[in-house]
Amino acid sequence: MRQNKTILVTGGAGYIGSHTCVELIQNGYQIVVLDNYLNSTKLALKRVEEITQTSLKIYPQDIRNKMALRQIFAQHNIDAIIHFAGLKAVGESVAKPLTYYDNNVGGSIILLKEAQKAGCKNLIFSSSATVYGTPEKLPITENCPTGNTTNPYGTSKFMIEEILQDTYQADQAWKIALLRYFNPVGAHASGKIGENPNGIPNNLMPFIAQVASGKLNHLEVFGNDYDTLDGTGIRDYIHVMDLAKGHVLALDYLLTKSKGEVLTVNLGTGKGYSVLQMVKAFAKASGKKIPYTIEDRRPGDIASCFADVNKAHKILNWHAELDIETMCSDAWRFIEKNSVKTS
């Protein structure tokens, strides 16, 4: 079934996109990648080609370029889209809300319109646990309220989810999966692709990795007075390769369904780790010291966040397999092997 299906991967040169490209190819899907390299480089896709021993069809284009999209849909028989392309830095979204709404929301609308015109109504969207805002209960189920977001990035994800729900309501031929990722970390086991953000990282894991490599001199821990086991914030870290596998299974599910639907699924491990537990795990995996200071809480942060993962297991037969040690050692291997930027 997978062999003759072609998937358009927007944002395929990015962190999660590049790992998912590997998994799609290795599971028999054909792919076409579109990325404007706003937050990535060509090297990541070269590495995908190396890992998979294939030659990729790559369009260095913006999702807001409708003529480019039209050309892609005309040249390829696209069966489904995995839509990763978007901007993702929370702090930057507060400073540049219009840029975020234009790129994420505006770009998604243009993509959807062109897909609809081309008759391609199967789509997986990269959503986020951020749509839950401050969770009412833990673990977070897919039925928990959404929309109480605290920054334009999160609001853009919520808006796109609503747009996709409305799109389905208007035309129930659409088959859509909203995959709400928790905290993706780690790298491909080859060390060829991984997470290497521009500038100083916002997220915990790449920050710790740069402290371990000596690029940054210490980690600032944002608060140790939360109501958690050691006072530091708890998150559900998930290995990016587990996440990538979740996309393949979601795609299998959508493409074999006879009827349209909007499937909403959390992708996490269901387990939470504190900032200090992550520091300890990374220090062990890398054999490096991770000096840190305790600072004030970061505005907008919540104490704890972890997923209820039963729905993903029940519907997609998916669960995360890789543990925190593997997440840290794979992330460290990527850092050690690469002094250049690859995503």
What residues act catalytically?
153
29-88 residues near ligand NAD, rule: CB under 6 A: 35-40, 62-64, 84-88
**Using CB atoms, what's the residue nearest to ligand NAD?**
14
Contact between 233 and ligand NAD by CB under 6 A: the answer reads: no
Smallest separation, CB 272 to ligand UDP (Å): 10
Closer to ligand NAD by Cβ: residue 294 or 308: 308
Q: Does residue 235 sit in helix, strand or coil?
A: strand
* By the rule CB under 6 A, 174 interacts with ligand UDP: no
CA distance 111 to 116: 9
**Contact code string over 267-286 relative to ligand UDP, x by CB under 6 A:** --------x-----------
**DSSP classification of residue 315:** I
- Determine if 267 is a binding residue for ligand NAD (CB under 6 A): no
**Residue 256: CB atoms within 10 Å:** 9
Q: Looking at 7, 8, 9, 16, which residue binds ligand NAD (CB under 6 A)?
A: 16
Beta-strand runs (E) in the chain: 6-10, 30-34, 57-59, 80-83, 122-128, 175-181, 183-185, 219-222, 234-235, 237-239, 261-267, 273-274, 292-295
Among 301, 311, 323, 326, interactor with ligand UDP by CB under 6 A: 301
**115 in helix, strand or coil?**
helix
| Spatial CB neighbours of 250, under 8 Å, sequence gap ≥ 6 | 124, 177, 179, 263, 265, 316, 318
The Cα 123–Cα 135 span in angstroms is: 27
Q: Which residues bind ligand UDP (CB under 6 A)?
A: 183, 202-204, 207, 219-222, 233, 235, 275, 298, 301
Q: Which residues bind ligand NAD (CB under 6 A)?
A: 10-11, 13-17, 35-40, 62-64, 84-88, 103, 107, 126, 128, 181, 184, 343
